[in-house]
Amino acid sequence: MQATAILETVLYATDLEAAEAFYTRVFGLQVVRRLAGKFVFFRCGAGMLLIFDPVQSAAVDPANPIPRHGAVGAGHLCFATGPGQTIEAWRAHFAAQGVAIETLHVWPGGARSLYLRDPAGNSIEIGEPKMWGLD
């Protein structure tokens, strides 16, 4: 048996409304489900980005059989540049959205990534898939 894809990625944010506004406005993600004060779920291509309130996701709930989870501090995720998209186009998009870029990193082999922060302080990257040999 071998896993073939990541189905969902989780980040944590105490201000879910700010997270929702950021990911819909800056990355064009579609909200699939939200529960005020608890979570907001987005579709991202063939996967899902789940953002939970860290306090609520760690709270014991006898009616919910899913194991409690959470994280302390900033998380990280990397979005892939899509077909025909360039780092330069993303840089211009972020500037137009008023989103500060922390750094542009050039990886061995020449792939590039832009790093920024979401409203919760999570480290968000947009990178060229060739950084992992995934052209």
Residue 86 dihedral angles phi and psi, to the nearest 5°: -125, 160
> What is the CATH number assigned to the segment(s) 1-63?
3.10.180.10
**Other C-beta atoms lying within 10 Å of the C-beta of residue 65:** 6
Fold match between domain 1-63 and domain 74-135: yes
pTM value is 0.93
Mean pLDDT, consecutive 10-residue segments, the chain of 135 residues? 93 97 98 96 97 88 83 93 95 97 97 98 97 90
pLDDT of residue 30: 97
Residue 91 dihedral angles phi and psi, to the nearest 5°: -60, -45
SS3 for 15-80 is CHHHHHHHHHHHHCCEEEEEECCCEEEEEECCEEEEEECHHHHHCCCCCCCCCCCCCCCCCEEEEE
DSSP 110: S
- Residues 67-102 have pLDDT tens digits of 888 888 899 999 999 999 999 999 999 999 999 999
Domain 74-135, CATH number (from 3.40.50.10860, 3.30.70.1710, 3.40.50.720, 3.10.180.10): 3.10.180.10
Domains in the chain: boundaries: 1-63, 74-135
